[in-house]
Amino acid sequence: MSIDMAQFHQVFFEESFEGLDIMESGLLNMDPGTVDDEEINSIFRAAHSIKGGSGTFGFNDISGFTHIMETLLDEMRDGRRPVTPEAVDVLLRSVDVLRDMLAATSDDGEVDEERVQEQKAELEQILNGKPGEVATDVGAADVAAQPVGGVEVRPIGWHIVFRPLSHMLRTGNDPLRIIRELAELGDLKSEGDISALPALSSYEPEDSYLSWDLHLHGDVEKQAIDDIFDWVEDDCELIIMPLLPEGEPEAVMVAATAAPTASEAETPVVQAAPPPVEQRSKKDRRSSKDRRTKDRRQSVGSSGGGSIRVEISKIDALINMVGELVITQSMLSMLGEDFEMDRLERLNDGLAQLERHTRELQESVMQVRMLPISFTFSRFPRLVHDLSSKLGKKIELKMTGENTEVDKTVIEKIGDPLVHLVRNSLDHGIEMPEVRLAAGKPETGTINLSASHKGGNIVIEIRDDGQGLNRDKIEEKAIEKEIIDEDHNLSDQQIYELIFAAGFSTADVVSDVSGRGVGMDVVRRNINELGGSIEIESDPGKGSAIIIRLPLTLAILDGQTVTVADETYIVPLVSIIESIQVKADQINRVAGKGETFKLRDEFLPILRLHELFGIENPNASSLEEGLLVVVEGDGRHCGLFVDDLLGQQQVVIKSLEANYQRVDGISGATILGDGSVALILDIPGLLRLAAETGADSAAKQTA
């Protein structure tokens, strides 16, 4: 199986740069001496993702470097190491180094090895616990942080000799177009050579006799130039040479061959006295880097700015549909011009047609956002290959349903969670070959990665034939980490689900692959953010499976309309377990405030929506009058108290952030049939909001 990994590099770099930004701002926010768990967790997660991604793509020096940072962060997270200003400084500088490493890798530039090694040494020094020495090293590191001249010299431009063969014009290629494109890349100075031009009598109008000497100044990738000449490389003689900052011979040559006065006016870059050339190139380099950073910021800022490739057939379907819609519209307007009651039937037909076309149009527009999941799946063969050899295991990866189409946003967000899950299967699930043979299983373990459509959902499954989840070990760890009490009475399934708790890991040794306990909680959060759910199945000794269910599209949601007083809200149907009316004797109070009710064997906290949202005069003030919608978010259940349920409907999700800002407990808005706006509840967000306002002290008691 050969897959071009390069197509995913861009995504990885974008994600990593975002991760670095998160780390940087997190570190800057960190107060020395105190550890803000959330802050340090987010820094740690970012580092972990970068390490994971770089490992996947084979950028081993980046993953090695990040691993050291991660180890340090891990110790800080667990409180084993104090957060000192020195350590934060070193981490910040490491972020810079990492950023340069990533930038260099993404631009095919050279990494400043010396600096990386120094930074690595500094990190290791901190890890070995010698704070004093580190402090004195700061100065040295600052010096090292300056770009070292001469180690990495970027060309200030390119010298291109372009001699089209005589038949080039006949291939339909126009040298002028090529030169114009080059001019767009930077400051282009061209010089034509007409020496090959024959006498007019023997001139062949379809032959090309000219050739050019081109000097392109500016920070231009060679790749960009190669791309321009891509079509003509077989039809011309082409030499591309870099113009180096110190490359004075080049500059001199230009000056010598160019007509002196004209060149002075046109090419100040070359003519400007040679000595400052090196300095300027340095500045150019920096400014080009600044520009890059800025570009990236912009692209991050306008996150909707990404592009999408769409099959022509989908566009054609759209155009057809619009055509139909226009026909229906004109038919209806003709009908409306002089309407009489006896044409009512035709009006009804027309409206029915309009409805059908609108729905079809909506579906085809949704199709445009759909991409095959192979975009995500195709990074796994490499991952499995690399990791299995590293772990000394024999593993076969089987993939099915790669052509299942999912929303573009899902593709972007599901990648990392899937990487975590596959790594987990590799590391924890599949046993070593000897163990497998001893257990009477084939030596080679199998991981099945599949995607399919099931009843309006996308189901992604990661199934392995390994040892399954170790119930006892999970239980033991959970008790040790004080996630559960010793005298709990949880079912096996509930125990398995503990692996989604934050900070949970059963691996005895923290390895490069997994075992840091970051991951499963993030996995679940990412999936919840996409409006999906995650389930776990395990059969001891036979294997385990993770099943992820995701909504088909993120633009439309199945919702339940609920009312409180005169306000209408939409609850996503995926979050709803059931809706019930409670009796007074089912309700208990905790500490006189928090209300809970017993549903089968579980005590669930009650959240009153009107209290959370400050809605005045709800119709139902006592719990028996209204309804409890039992909802699930982030693995917690609770009863959401509302006045009434109205009905279920599909709603189109509109962003609140587009014109306003994010609102706690609200995931978006939609427009109802009467044109009014209803807000869509974000159940996990609502639970967090409740926890913050302290309204669910009961929830903490039962959770």
Q: Does 238 bind another protein (CB under 8 A)?
A: no
Q: Does 358 bind another protein (CB under 8 A)?
A: no
If the CB atoms of residues 123 and 615 are measured against another protein, the closer one turns out to be 615
d(CA 425, CA 417): 12
Q: How far is the CB of 659 from another protein (least distance, A)?
A: 5
Cβ-count burial 74-93 (b if 16+ within 10 Å, e if not): bbbbeeebebbebbbbbbeb
Q: Does 302 bind another protein (CB under 8 A)?
A: yes
Q: Does 557 bind another protein (CB under 8 A)?
A: no
Q: Which of 521, 518, 373, 416 is nearest to 15 (CA)?
A: 416
Q: How far is the CB of 19 from another protein (least distance, A)?
A: 13
d(CA 484, CA 475): 8
Q: Does 664 bind another protein (CB under 8 A)?
A: yes
CA torsion sign for 349, 350, 356, 359 is negative
Neighbours of 609 (CB within 10 A): 25
Binding segment (CB under 8 A) for another protein, from list 20-28, 194-202, 226-234, 327-335: 20-28
Looking at residue 169, its amino acid is L
Q: Does 318 bind another protein (CB under 8 A)?
A: no
Binding segment (CB under 8 A) for another protein, from list 12-20, 70-78, 121-129, 608-616: 608-616
User: In the beta sheet, which residues pair with residue 588?
Assistant: 596
If the CB atoms of residues 126 and 612 are measured against another protein, the closer one turns out to be 612
List 41, 424, 526, 528, catalytic entry: 424
d(CA 132, CA 385): 43
d(CA 575, CA 637): 9
If the CB atoms of residues 139 and 675 are measured against another protein, the closer one turns out to be 675
Binding segment (CB under 8 A) for another protein, from list 59-67, 403-411, 618-626, 666-674: 666-674
Structure token digits, residue 2? 């050969």
d(CA 233, CA 129): 58
CA atoms within 13 A on the CB side of 60: 3
Residue identified by tokens 């991951």 is 519
Q: How far is the CB of 362 from another protein (least distance, A)?
A: 13
Q: Does 629 bind another protein (CB under 8 A)?
A: no
Q: Does 493 bind another protein (CB under 8 A)?
A: no
Binding segment (CB under 8 A) for another protein, from list 157-165, 200-208, 345-353, 612-620: 612-620
Q: Does 673 bind another protein (CB under 8 A)?
A: no
Structure token digits, residue 96? 């810079």
Q: Does 555 bind another protein (CB under 8 A)?
A: no
Q: Is 48 annotated as catalytic?
A: yes
Binding segment (CB under 8 A) for another protein, from list 370-378, 399-407, 539-547, 672-680: 672-680
Region of 174 (left: φ > 0; alpha: ψ -120 to 50; beta: rest) is beta
418 phi and psi angles, rounded to 5 deg: -65, -40
Binding segment (CB under 8 A) for another protein, from list 389-397, 405-413, 524-532, 677-685: 677-685
DSSP string, 577-621: EEEE---GGGEEEETTTEEEEEETTEEEEEEEHHHHTT-SS-S--
Q: How far is the CB of 458 from another protein (least distance, A)?
A: 27
If the CB atoms of residues 185 and 669 are measured against another protein, the closer one turns out to be 669
Element (H, E) at 477: helix 471-480
Q: Does 301 bind another protein (CB under 8 A)?
A: yes
Q: Which residues contact 438 (CB under 8 A, 6 or more apart)?
A: none
Q: Does 151 bind another protein (CB under 8 A)?
A: no
DSSP string, 509-536: S--SSS-SS-SHHHHHHHHHHTT-EEEE
Q: Does 675 bind another protein (CB under 8 A)?
A: yes
Q: Is 431 annotated as catalytic?
A: no
Tell which positions 23-42 bind another protein, by CB under 8 A: 25-26, 28-29, 42
Q: How far is the CB of 669 from another protein (least distance, A)?
A: 5
Q: Does 684 bind another protein (CB under 8 A)?
A: no
Q: Does 617 bind another protein (CB under 8 A)?
A: no
Q: Does 615 bind another protein (CB under 8 A)?
A: yes
Please count the residues of this chain forming the interface with another protein, following the rule CB under 8 A: 34
Please select the residue that binds another protein; options are 134, 156, 666, 683, rule is CB under 8 A. Answer: 666
Helix pair 113-127, 131-145: axis angle to 10 deg? 170
Neighbours of 656 (CB within 10 A): 17
Q: Give the three-state DSSP class for 541.
A: coil
If the CB atoms of residues 395 and 681 are measured against another protein, the closer one turns out to be 681
d(CA 71, CA 439): 35
Please select the residue that binds another protein; options are 76, 182, 269, 612, rule is CB under 8 A. Answer: 612
Structure token digits, residue 663? 């609102």
Q: How far is the CB of 508 from another protein (least distance, A)?
A: 34
If the CB atoms of residues 42 and 208 are measured against another protein, the closer one turns out to be 42
Q: Is 457 annotated as catalytic?
A: no
Please select the residue that binds another protein; options are 287, 655, 694, 700, rule is CB under 8 A. Answer: 655
What's the start-to-end Cα distance of the chain, in Å? 46
| Start-end of H helices in 57-112 | 60-77, 85-106
d(CA 685, CA 699): 14
Strands 567-572 and 677-681: parallel
Q: Does 654 bind another protein (CB under 8 A)?
A: yes
If the CB atoms of residues 585 and 674 are measured against another protein, the closer one turns out to be 674
List 39, 70, 461, 497, catalytic entry: 70
Binding segment (CB under 8 A) for another protein, from list 155-163, 278-286, 636-644, 648-656: 648-656
Element (H, E) at 242: strand 236-243
Q: Does 172 bind another protein (CB under 8 A)?
A: no
Q: Does 614 bind another protein (CB under 8 A)?
A: yes
Q: Which residues bind another protein (CB under 8 A)?
A: 22, 25-26, 28-29, 42, 301-302, 567-568, 612-615, 654-656, 658-666, 669, 671, 675-679, 689
Which positions are catalytic? 48, 70, 424
